[in-house]
Structure 1
Amino acid sequence: MIFAYNPKYVSDTLMVITDNDKNLEQTVERKGNVACLKTEDGRIIGWNFFAISEVMTIEGNGQVYLSDEQVAKLNELMRAAGFTEQLTPDHEPKFVVGFVKSCEPHEDSDHLSITEIEVDNNQTLQIVCGAPNIRKGLKVVVAKPGAMMPDGMLIWPGELRGVASYGMVCSAKELHLPNAPMKRGILELGNDAVVGEAFTVGK
């Protein structure tokens, strides 16, 4: 679940993104200051809360992070508007330190690699990566499904050349880190980086 707020460019509207629209046509059902966004196949992909500053103060710009109390307030607004669905807080970090357990060439590409990356003690993700410096044994920054990159791009499960990919291995430039090198390649972390630990991105 991704919260986005940009009053300067998108008006006083909190956008809640809950699923990938998969480029399908969308429908909008609005009740008062709450709108439910669905795809043509009926999946709920998000919610819009209009005039949100009248009911809560949101810190930050772009992707923002709400407290459990703020999510509970959104649920109150949804109930009051006549919606029965509810939002569930998600505190799992979406940018984490990962360890490349394996890295094999993609059979249908001359530059892609298929990696298995440990992002926590009990979770390993298969990620297709095109960086020239990806290799087994690296510690890297992984954007997990449900992450919003600093430039606004959303990360969802997908496929690259027919191979499933569940996230993205990030470069310093993509993370908007200061003094990021211009050359292609993912960010390589030091041995002291802790697998599964949250990584703070730039804006």
Structure 2
Amino acid sequence: MNAFYNKEGVGDTLLISLQDVSREQAGFEKHGDVVKIYNKETKETTGFNIFNASSYLTIAEKGPVALSETFVQDVNEILNRSGIEEKLTVDLSPKFVVGYIESKEKHPNADKLSICQVNTGDETVQIVCGAPNVDQGQKVVVAKVGAVMPSGLVIKDAELRGVASSGMICSAKELDLPDAPKEKGILVLEGEYEAGEPFQF
């Protein structure tokens, strides 16, 4: 589950995405201020748009909304009051964590891509990375599958030139950090960081 709110850019609408659906496949049901979006083929719910969101919730963020148990309870209450019986559940494990690059090898089908095995604390994931400065032995910031980048991009399992990739090794610019360097390259962490610890930004 991902939530996005930008009153200036989008209007007073909270966008909740549960899974992807193409415009052709999407169906809509209106329940007062809530629009339920579903896949017409599978009938699965893929998201909700909550209009006049500020009359129901106080949302401080501009962009991706930090998920919490309280936020999910509040949204479930709004859905319930609108006559929708579904309940949302959420994975609250951190989605931006410190990763340790255990190995790096050249991508067989792309000169500028590297295949990295990255320890994220509870598991080692394979991430295909195009940064010129990525290397074995670095501590980096990993956006895990399910993370929402500051740009609104949702990180998903992917395949890059035939090689599976689960997550993204981030640059300072992608994390929207102040004073991010102009040059291309991932953010390499210096100092006492442990693989798997949440990265706050």
TM-score by length of 2: 0.90
Tell me the SS of whatever aligns to 2:76: helix
Q: Shift of the alpha carbon at 1:64? A: 1.6
Q: Shift of the alpha carbon at 1:66? A: 4.2
1:117 maps to amino acid: V
CA distance in 1, matches of 2:37, 2:26: 7
- Residue ranges of structure 2 left out of the alignment (5+ in a row): none
Q: Shift of the alpha carbon at 1:84? A: 2.8
Tell me the SS of whatever aligns to 1:145: coil
CA distance in 2, matches of 1:130, 1:29: 41
Distance 1:22 1:138, change over 3 A: farther
Instruction: State which drifts further: 17-26 or 162-171.
Output: 17-26
Instruction: Give the conservation status (yes or no) of the 8 Å contact 2:97–2:196.
Output: yes
Equivalence for 1:48: 49
Instruction: Give the conservation status (yes or no) of the 8 Å contact 1:37–1:44.
Output: yes
CA distance in 2, matches of 1:94, 1:23: 27
- Residue ranges of structure 1 left out of the alignment (5+ in a row): none
2:78 maps to amino acid: L
In the alignment, is residue 189 of structure 1 matched against residue 189 of structure 2?
yes
Distance 1:11 1:23, change over 3 A: closer
Equivalence for 2:74: 73
Q: Shift of the alpha carbon at 1:116? A: 1.3
Distance 1:24 1:116, change over 3 A: farther
Instruction: Give the conservation status (yes or no) of the 8 Å contact 2:126–2:165.
Output: yes
Instruction: Give the conservation status (yes or no) of the 8 Å contact 1:139–1:191.
Output: no
Equivalence for 2:164: 164
Equivalence for 1:59: 60
In the alignment, is residue 137 of structure 1 matched against residue 137 of structure 2?
yes
Q: Shift of the alpha carbon at 1:169? A: 0.6
Equivalence for 1:100: 101
Distance 1:2 1:12, change over 3 A: same
State the percentage of identical aligned residues.
44
1:102-121 per-residue CA deviation (whole Å, 9 max, x = no partner) reads: 2111111111111111112x
Distance 1:179 1:73, change over 3 A: closer
CA distance in 2, matches of 1:7, 1:185: 32
1:50-75 per-residue CA deviation (whole Å, 9 max, x = no partner) reads: 11221221122111224423311211
Distance 1:22 1:97, change over 3 A: farther
Equivalence for 2:88: 87
Instruction: Give the conservation status (yes or no) of the 8 Å contact 2:67–2:92.
Output: no
Tell me the SS of whatever aligns to 2:9: helix
Distance 1:191 1:41, change over 3 A: farther
Instruction: Give the conservation status (yes or no) of the 8 Å contact 1:24–1:39.
Output: no
Q: Which stretches of structure 1, 4 residues or more, deviate above 4 A after TM superposition? A: none
Report the RMSD for the aligned CA atoms in angstroms.
1.9
Instruction: Give the conservation status (yes or no) of the 8 Å contact 1:36–1:44.
Output: yes
Equivalence for 2:17: 17
Distance 1:66 1:141, change over 3 A: closer
TM-score by length of 1: 0.89
